[in-house]
Amino acid sequence: MVKVRTGTSLLGRAVEAPRTRDEATLERVPNPHPDTNYIARFTAPEFTALCPVTGQPDFAILVIDYLPGAWLIESKSLKLYLTSFRNHGAFHEDCTLRIGKDLAACLEPRWLRIGGYWYPRGGIPIDVFWATGELPEGIWVPDQAVPPYRGRG
């Protein structure tokens, strides 16, 4: 599990990117609107991790949607956390689920989903989807808008 810290210790200063996932920390801040249901979305169009077999880079578009409760993710910490996967060897499924589960543990959201849209490796794209449960009724969440693989771009 990733380290979690409350606050904004990374903002406003130069910080080296974590070299490994174990060095990464997710920071959360209080949600100023905890009484309002709304969706926050983060899109990481240049996510990379390493294939655990070949050591070659794997590329993905990640789309993270969540309905906050008491906490919001601090975006700089999220960027640095995602960067920590660049040296991490794991299969597409493991990367996508680990990120979703780490964010769910950090934020304790009312709802969270992650879509990992992976570019082909060996001619087959692997798209991975995970959610914490059912979306509460009456909440609008747009489509993740990543087309099925057809030479994405």
Residue bearing tokens 């060095």:
23
**Catalytic residue list:** 51, 58
Helix ranges (DSSP H) in the chain = 75-83, 92-107
Torsional class of 110: left (φ above 0), alpha (ψ -120 to 50), beta (otherwise): alpha
Nearest to 72 by CA among 27, 117, 113, 102: 27
